[in-house]
Amino acid sequence: MPIDPSTWSEEMTVSVHVGVAGETREEKAQKLSITIAKQEQIMIELSKLGIQPDANPVANLHQYTNALHDLQKCYGMKDADRYFTALPPQFSLGLPPPGQQQDPKALEAQARVQLEQQKAQAQAQLQAQKQQFDQQASSRELEFKEALAAREAETQEQLQSMKLESERQIAQLRITSEQEIARERMAMENQLAYDRMAMEQTLARIKHDDAQEIARSNVAMKSNGSNGISKNRPGGDLSK
């Protein structure tokens, strides 16, 4: 959208505010904490000179309360009035101006009240920070448990897969071993059958050879017997 500054009034006052876009919530909270500490120091030092917090020309109660509210917002607490009540614009402690004589007991009571208020504020702030820390710790613990459970489930799944693979390998080894044993048994039985058949053939051949030898021996014996005795001998023919 084009803008022509020449049309602006000469009496116009322009202020430029540059935001810090990269500033994190933690960095802003740290800066506010330093600012609050410095405000407290200024109010304490000037109170020693008789200048009360609501009349402090450098850091008064309104500015101090505003800083506390901004700090609570940095912590993510939308209801800052729950911990620090915003002061009315015309708020005053009702104390006499500087230079007038003040009652020491009243000053002591006032200081005691302010101290108790500061202690209560510090305790409330500490409690809020502790609550926030507990919430973050619980969230991190839950995330850790979920990650651990997921890791355990993944490990169990891997172990189950390894177990199934191992069982398949064992079954395959068993089948291979049984097949090898069956082949060896068949080969052994075939060899035994061959050896038995060869032995039977050898025994049959030996038996056959022995039978032939016995037959030849019988023939030879008969032949030798008939040739060695003469039929024409004294006393007549033996054949008769």
Q: What is the pLDDT of residues 149-177, one digit of tens each?
A: 998 899 988 898 888 888 888 888 889 88
- Range scoring the smallest mean pLDDT among 14-18, 123-127, 138-142: 14-18
Question: What are the strands, taking DSSP E only, across the chain?
Answer: 232-233, 236-237
User: Smallest Cα–Cα separation from 64: which of 48, 45, 46, 41?
Assistant: 41
**Residue 56 · residue 44 · CB < 8 Å:** no
The structure's pTM equals 0.31
Residue 226: its pLDDT value, please?
Answer: 59
What span, in angstroms and rounded, lies between the C-alpha atoms of 239 and 58?
177
Residue 104: its pLDDT value, please?
Answer: 72
Q: Which residue has the tokens 């009349």?
A: 55
